[in-house]
Every structure is written in C-alpha cells, then in structure tokens.
Amino acid sequence: LRQISQRTINTASRRQFENRVPEKQKLFQEDNGIPVHLKGGVMDALLYRVTMGLTVFGTAYVVYELLVASMPKKQK
C-alpha cells in the first residue's frame, strides 16, 4: 500500500508543462494601444469593469450616507 501511494505521487510530479512565458511576454510587450491591465483578454476586461462598478457604487453610497448623517433628524 505504501509503494502504491508513493508511486502515484512520484509520477504525478514528473509531468512536464509547456513553458508559455515567451509568448506571454510577446503579448504583454506588444505596442497595440491596449493598457497592460487589459491585455490578458476578456477576463481582465470583465474584472476591470466589475472593479470600476463596485468602486463607483461604493463611492456614491458613502457620499449618500454622509449626506444623510449630516442632516439633523426632526424632533417630534
């Protein structure tokens, strides 16, 4: 049993992965007018838009809450 578990662990670590660093370097260093934080593709654009949306919503909410907190409540 011990040899079987060691064998599966050892063979899994021997897998070779293709080195894709040079092609990623070409992609990110290409001068095509796209900002570097959007060169990764659709997921980068989606994450950027979600982050910007949350930032705008959060800022608007904070300003609203500050305005509500600055108004005195009416006494009955």
Q: Please, what is the end-to-end C-alpha distance for the chain in angstroms?
A: 79
Q: Within a domain: residue 66?
A: yes
Instruction: Answer whether residue 19 is part of any domain.
Output: no
Examine residue 62 and state whether it is found in any structural domain, yes or no.
Answer: yes
Residue 70 lies in a domain: yes
Both tokens assigned to 48: 């950027």
Domain count, the chain: 1
Half-sphere exposure at residue 38, Cβ-oriented, CA atoms within 13 angstroms: 10
| Residue 22 pLDDT | 94
Please report the pLDDT score of residue 56 as a whole number. Answer: 98
Identify the pLDDT of residue 76: 76
In tens digits, the chain (76 residues) has pLDDT values of 666 555 555 555 566 889 999 999 999 999 999 999 999 999 999 999 999 999 999 999 999 999 999 998 888 7
Residue 48 is assigned to a structural domain of this protein: yes
